[in-house]
Amino acid sequence: MGKKIGFIGLGVMGVSMASRIIDSGYELYIYNRTRSKGDSLVAKGAHWCDTPRSVAENADITFTIVGFPKDVQEVYLGSNGIIEGAESGKIFCDMTTTKPSLDIEIAEELRKKGAEMADAPVSGGDTGARNGTLSIMVGASEKVFEALLPLFQIMGKNITHMGEVGAGQNTKMANQIVIAGTMCGVSEALVYGAKAGLNLEKMVATISKGAAGCWTLDNLAPRVLRKDYEPGFMVEHFIKDMGIALEEAERMELPLPSLALTKQLYMAIKAEGMGKKGTQVLVKALEAMAGKEIL
């Protein structure tokens, strides 16, 4: 397999992931709906492409990480989409968090053209993308996984082959279910600690060393204490993920009451115009319920 890599979707995480690939010596072909988001990569020598089809035609392996299932559908199967540039021997890897059934459908369409597909959603936010420490959950054949592994190792540290296409997305749903509950717990602890008059920096440092220790406490609680609500991961994207998980759970006849509640709290945050803030802004929903600013 050659060293020509495609990357579609240059948002908060995508631009850092793509940057690590070009810094590792690969020839990079990029596309994003907003062209200016690719400027930093073009300055490093990346080739700008005007359509997803053009990326697919030029690259041996193409990664996608876009926003919503409709965006995945459009990038792969729409007019001037990847499917029109796909050909035998090429590999496509969707790193968006999306519906398992959608990536399975896309994989079937790509196979008709002799191309291969993997789904590999990630966890770790903007920090993990910058530092190359993402957790990557992969659904693919053994052959495709082995072909992608050197590139995954540039972007992440914890890389797991979960099974065939779709298995990566289902693993990510389990990940998002845990994060939803954890985000609620951390947010409630922060407003509780503030109301009780604790030194919050000390509180976070103390409880993070015990059984409460988690990624959210280490990475997002400090942002809340700085009143930094800019996104490592956007509220509206998290709502999308929770919706997918709840839809899949309903199909499997599984009750997920904690997840349903968390989604409602984030819906309230979005209704207040904070859909593009980071998920740590959940504390604002708790303050609104208390009727006062606490932090």
Q: 158 forms bridges with which residues in the sheet?
A: 135
**Shared domain check, 108 and 88:** yes
**Shared domain check, 10 and 139:** yes
**Shared domain check, 128 and 30:** yes
CB 24 within 8 A of CB 154: yes
Known catalytic residues?
A: 172
Give the tokens for residue 252: 């499997």
Give the tokens for residue 21: 């690939």
Number of domains the chain is built from: 2
CATH code, 265: 1.10.1040.10
CATH code, 62: 3.40.50.720
CB 91 within 8 A of CB 118: yes
181 falls within a domain: yes
CB 28 within 8 A of CB 3: no
Q: Among residues 124, 147, 164, which one ends one of the domains?
A: 164
Name the percent of the chain lying above pLDDT 70.
Answer: 99
Domain that holds residue 116: 4-164
**Shared domain check, 184 and 103:** no
**Shared domain check, 141 and 8:** yes
Give the tokens for residue 268: 């309230």
- State pLDDT tens for residues 133-166: 999 999 999 999 999 999 999 999 999 999 999 9
Question: Where does the chain have alpha helices with state H?
Answer: 14-23, 39-43, 52-58, 69-77, 82-85, 100-111, 125-131, 142-155, 167-195, 200-207, 215-219, 221-225, 235-251, 257-269, 283-290
Distance, in Å, from the CA atom of 23 to the CA atom of 154, rounded to the nearest integer, reads 10
**Shared domain check, 276 and 138:** no
**Shared domain check, 11 and 108:** yes
pLDDT at 54 over 70: yes
- State pLDDT tens for residues 191-241: 999 999 999 999 999 999 999 999 999 999 999 999 999 998 999 999 999
pLDDT (0 to 100) of residue 2: 57
Q: Among residues 112, 142, 164, which one ends one of the domains?
A: 164
- What average pLDDT does the segment 284-291 reach? 94
The dihedrals phi and psi of 191, each to the nearest 5 degrees, come to -70, -35
105 falls within a domain: yes
**Shared domain check, 273 and 193:** yes
**Shared domain check, 113 and 61:** yes
**Shared domain check, 158 and 139:** yes
**Shared domain check, 233 and 122:** no
Give, in degrees to the nearest 5, the angle at Cα 65 between 226 and 235: 35
Q: Among residues 137, 164, 191, which one ends one of the domains?
A: 164
Strands 61-64 and 122-123: unpaired
Question: How many Cα atoms occupy the beta-carbon half-sphere of 123 within 13 Å?
Answer: 24
Residue 164, SS3? coil
pTM score of the predicted model = 0.90
**Shared domain check, 73 and 152:** yes
128 falls within a domain: yes
Distance, in Å, from the CA atom of 131 to the CA atom of 55, rounded to the nearest integer, reads 25
- State pLDDT tens for residues 251-277: 999 999 999 999 999 999 999 999 999
295 falls within a domain: no
Quickly list DSSP for 183-213.
HHHHHHHHHHHHHTT--HHHHHHHHTTTTT-
